[in-house]
Structure 1
Amino acid sequence: MVNNRVDVNAVLMQMRQVKDQIRSNHDNQASQVDKLRPQQVQDVAQPTKGDNTVPDFQAMLKNAVDTVNTNQKTAGDLQKRFEMGDPSVDLPEVMVAMQKSSVSFQAMTQVRNKLVEAYKDVMNMPV
């Protein structure tokens, strides 16, 4: 008779290794995303330690709009440089910048739509 029993300790060890790999990959991705975010957005979005105040909505919204504007300017500049034949600009770099600009603009448009919808709802409330 063949023993098909799986060693429980070996399975647990493999599960822990996979969990550690996933956690390290997640941490690496999170640090890469933080590097891509402008420093000014990080400062407003994350209050300092020990500071229990809520970030100012107006400042957060302004920083978000400024970030979208910066993304669009950067994408436009890269596109122009690529079209002019600048050898230091690659097509994938231009495409990523254009997509980043497009996604950030679409997200900002959706935020604006939700704000307008909320404003209309508040204005239509009976007093």
Structure 2
Amino acid sequence: MAVSGISGVESMLQQMRALVQAAQQGISDPSELSPTVSSTQGATSFADELRQSVQRISDAQQAAKLQAEKFELGDPNVSLNDVMINTQKANIGFQTAVQVRDRLVSAYNTISQITM
């Protein structure tokens, strides 16, 4: 699971580098760049990677909620330790998503100020 996250980040970084190089060269379409820079074949787009990350966070929150409900109902197969750990994992994932959102908004605002 961590490997796909790393490859997703690498593909996003590659796309961002291609966009930066296109902007520096005054090219409006990054696909016009040389194949070594814009070769993102087989890689997921930034939007897809973001969508998958949000879905994973949502799934973790739902699983933690379900596990907490099972514990509250007295399910002997669910321990308090597991409930607390999974709840914290879901919370950390959510906090990370909020920080990523804030940084994306900040980057968007910076880029929009540069283009004015």
The TM tier, using the shorter chain, reads 0.5 to 0.7
> Counterpart of 1:123?
112
> Counterpart of 1:8?
none
> Counterpart of 1:66?
55
TM-score, normalised with respect to structure 1: 0.59
Q: Does 1:82 align with 2:71?
A: yes
Give the Cα separation in 2 of the matches to 1:120 and 1:109: 16
> Counterpart of 1:106?
95
Percent identity of paired positions between Structure 1 and Structure 2: 30
Superposition deviation, residue 42 in structure 1: 2.7
Give the Cα separation in 1 of the matches to 2:65 and 2:57: 12
Deviations 1:13-47 (A, max 9, x none): xxxxxxxxxxxxxxxxxxxxx4xx6xxx9387388
Which aligned segments of 4 or more residues in structure 1 are displaced greater than 4 angstroms? none
TM-score, normalised with respect to structure 2: 0.64
Q: Does 1:42 align with 2:4?
A: yes
Q: Which amino acid aligns with 1:61?
A: L
CA RMSD after TM alignment: 2.5
The higher-RCO structure (CA 8 Å, 6+ apart) is: 2
Give the Cα separation in 2 of the matches to 1:82 and 1:89: 6
| Stretches of structure 1 lacking an aligned partner (at least 5 in a row) | 1-33
Q: How many residue pairs end up in the alignment?
A: 86
Q: Which amino acid aligns with 2:57?
A: V
Superposition deviation, residue 55 in structure 1: 2.8
> Counterpart of 1:91?
80
> Counterpart of 2:19?
none
| Stretches of structure 2 lacking an aligned partner (at least 5 in a row) | 12-38
> Which structure would you say has the larger Rg?
1
Higher helix proportion (structure 1 or 2): 2
Residues 60 and 126 (structure 1), Cα distance of their counterparts in 2 relative to 1, 3 Å cut: closer
